[in-house]
Structures are given as C-alpha cells and as structure tokens.
Amino acid sequence: MSSKQLTITTRQKKDTFYNIVAAVVLLMWALPAIWIIFTAFRPGNEVNVTPPVWIPQKITLDAFLSLFGFNPDIAAGVPVWNYMWNSTRVAVLNTVFSVALGTMAGYAFSRFKFRWSSTIFLLIMLSRSVPGVALSLPLFLLMRNYGLIDTVQGLAFVYVAINIPFTAWLMDGFFRQIPQELDEAAYIDGCSHWSAFWRIDLPLALPGMAAASIFAFLASWNEYQIASIITKTPAAKTFPVGLYDFTSQFTVDWRGMAAMSVLMMVPAIIFVILTQRSMVQGLTFGAIKG
C-alpha cells in the first residue's frame, strides 16, 4: 500500500538524520583529542601554521624522539623516563593494594549485616568526597615528619586510601550478584569463611576486580592535585606533574607537549579499548539489576 511505503521512507529518513547528527556531534567532541594526536606526529613545520594544516602531510616520530633525548640536536629538557617509571610504580602499587583491600571490604559489606555496617559504609563513601587539594595540605604537613615526602611509596599509600571506597562499592555490587547458595554449599562442605571467600567468591568476582583495577590504575596515573604537593623532584614526580612542569617550562614547544600528552594517554587508550563493554556494565550494574 502506498501509505505503508511512505512510512518506511520517513523512518529511514529519520534514521539517517539521527545517524548523521550523532556522527557530527561525536566527531566534534573528539576533535580536540584528534588534534593533539595529529600534532604529536607532525613534522615541525606543520605546527602553529596559519591557516592551520588540518590533515598531517607527513608522519614522524620526531617529537617523541626529542622528548626521550634520542634526538642529537635537541637536549631533552624533561626527565620523561623518570616520570613514566614513577607513575608506573605508583599505579601498580596502588592498584594491587586498593583492589585487594577494597575487594575484601566489598565482600564484607555485601554478605554480612553487622553492627554499624551501614555507618562504616557511609563513612568510607564520604571519604571519597574530600577533594585532593583539601587533603594534600594536611598530608604534606604530616608526611614531612615521617620522611614520606617525595617518595613513590608515600604517594602510593595515599592513593590506596583514596581508591578503596570506589573499589569497595564496585565489588560490593559484584558480590551481591553471586548467589549466596554457593557460599552455603561451601560451609556445609566444611569450608571456613575465609576459604569460601578465597575459593568460591573471588574467582567469580574476577571480572569485577579487573574493572576495579583499571579504574584504580587510571585514577593514579592521571592524578595531579596530591602528586603536585607531595612530590618534589624527578625521584618521585609522576607524569601529570611532569606534564604541568613541561607546559610551564616550554611554552613554545607545543609539539613536544602534544607528544607528552599522547604518551600520557597510552595506558588509558589500551584499557578503554579492551574493556569498552564491561566498563559500561561496571558503572551501571546496580541500576539495571535493581
């Protein structure tokens, strides 16, 4: 019938309209990021040109080589290796401990109703709402006395405290999805609480722990406020602080800064691509299952 044909075309038109608008919006949104990535790989004469050269004519790794000090003409002004090494150490320490402790806490909250459990849970959640700057000031004063300023361990210690709440919250939700009958069966078979946790619940919660690890790793990799106050020298300075130093030091070398930015994004890009689906799940599991 002619009216049916009309409806199909209008729907197709509507669909293509939505598709196009969505594509435009998303491209616009990704534009700043794309621009930085392009610039990091450009030859020097394409940067800062008016009118702007949109698509890079040549791809070079020059900017990165200069950054790492491989370029014989330009002296490396920034200890990029230190920054990466420090950031990696801090992030790994933070991830391991905050996920371990957070998982234990999440399990406790999900299964057991003990006295003050809701108060403690609220306290832990509230502690996450303290902004980094507010925390960094007294931390600086206190850590001075213990010689923890400008150490990777000190910074990681702080990060663990900051990341436990989110991990615990995440794992609490995950553990609630694991049926308690499995634990019960284990108890009947003679398991203690701990071995039931270790052998039954933990293996099933590995996807949740993976998601939590990624959040913890990225949180520590990207953190600036506390790191800027607690670390002083390249012995412990992390990448975000290094980037800030670079931008204030080399306000002319935009390409170098772009290269540094790309380096900083590498772990995040890897993780996001690998876990695109499960990240959405991780953020919304509570609401969907109800």
Q: Which residues, numbered 170-199, are part of the site for another protein (CB under 8 A)?
A: 180-181, 184, 187-188, 193-194
161 binds another protein (CB under 8 A): yes
Please list every residue from 51 through 90 that binds another protein, using CB under 8 A. 51-52
Residue 29 within binding range of another protein, rule CB under 8 A:
yes
- Best CA proximity match to 67, nearest among 226, 248, 271, 261: 261
* Residue 145 touches another protein, criterion: CB under 8 A: no
Q: Does 269 participate in binding another protein (rule CB under 8 A)?
A: yes
Nearer to another protein, 89 or 111 (CB): 111
- Is 274 a binding residue for another protein by CB under 8 A? The answer is no
Judged by CB under 8 A, which stretch of 56-64, 68-76, 122-130, 199-207 contacts another protein?
122-130
Q: By C-alpha distance, which of 148, 269, 143, 150 is closest to 214?
A: 269
Residue closer to another protein by CB (options 68, 254) is 254
Q: Is the Cβ of residue 6 or residue 123 nearer to another protein in the bound state?
A: 123
Residue pair 259/40 in contact by the 8 Å Cβ criterion: yes
User: Cα(19)–Cα(22) distance, rounded to whole angstroms?
Assistant: 5
Angle, in degrees to the nearest 10, between helices 80-111 and 239-249: 140
With binding defined as CB under 8 A, does residue 209 bind another protein?
no
Closest by Cα among 276, 102, 289, 92 to 205: 102
Q: Which residues 226-265 are close enough to bind another protein by CB under 8 A? A: 229, 240, 243-244, 247, 254, 257, 261, 264-265
Q: Which is nearer to another protein, 27 or 70 (CB)?
A: 27
Q: What DSSP assignment string belongs to 128-176?
A: TTS-HHHHHHHHHHHHHHTT-TT-HHHHHHHHHHHHHHHHHHHHHHHHH
